[in-house]
Amino acid sequence: MIYTTEQGFKTHVGNEFFEVYCTNEDGTTDNKAIEDINKDAVSEIELYLRGVYPLPLQEPDRIVTVLTCDIMKFRFYKKRDEANIPDNIVALYKGSLKTLEKIKSRSLVLKMPEESQTDNPVKKSRIKYTTSSRKFGAGFTGYLK
């Protein structure tokens, strides 16, 4: 698994959820389903992080682990019964996507390991603002006299 572990996911979602959604009929862990859903969640996360951070993240910030688990939880509900996903799970998923948007737009910055700080594209980027034309005439002073 990427950005989380099976035990980390189980701890995040709780034993009851894990037993209901992540086990086979015989009570064994459904490793294939967990791996597949983890791959889907990681792909979704990396869509937002691509071009902002070097991927895959070697030492992901804790928020990436939480987002991975939240997206996986949503995807397990969706796989089971897409029409009846609880509102709080949908809200959790939408909140995760908003957080990823903030990371992508760089209003939230992930903590990176010290050795890769120099390669961090966030530190190298610049934002340049330009306007197409002058907004006021050359002699405009506004309300100043």
Query: pLDDT tens-digit profile of 27-45?
Result: 999 999 999 999 999 999 9
Average pLDDT value for residue range 91-118: 86
Tell whether 48 is covered by a domain: yes
Considering the domain boundaries, does residue 144 fall inside one?
A: no
Query: Is 92 domain-assigned?
Result: yes
CB within 8 A of 4, min separation 6: which ones? 12, 38, 65, 68, 69, 72
94 within domain boundaries: yes
Residue 132 belongs to a domain:
no
CA–CA separation, 79 and 73 (whole Å): 10
Q: What does the pLDDT read at residue 117?
A: 47
Domain-located, residue 119: yes
Tell me whether residue 136 is in a domain. Answer: no
Structural domain boundaries, residue 75? 6-124
Per the structure, the count of domains in the chain is 1
d(Cα 47, Cα 25) in Å, to the nearest integer? 34
Q: Is residue 22 part of a domain?
A: yes
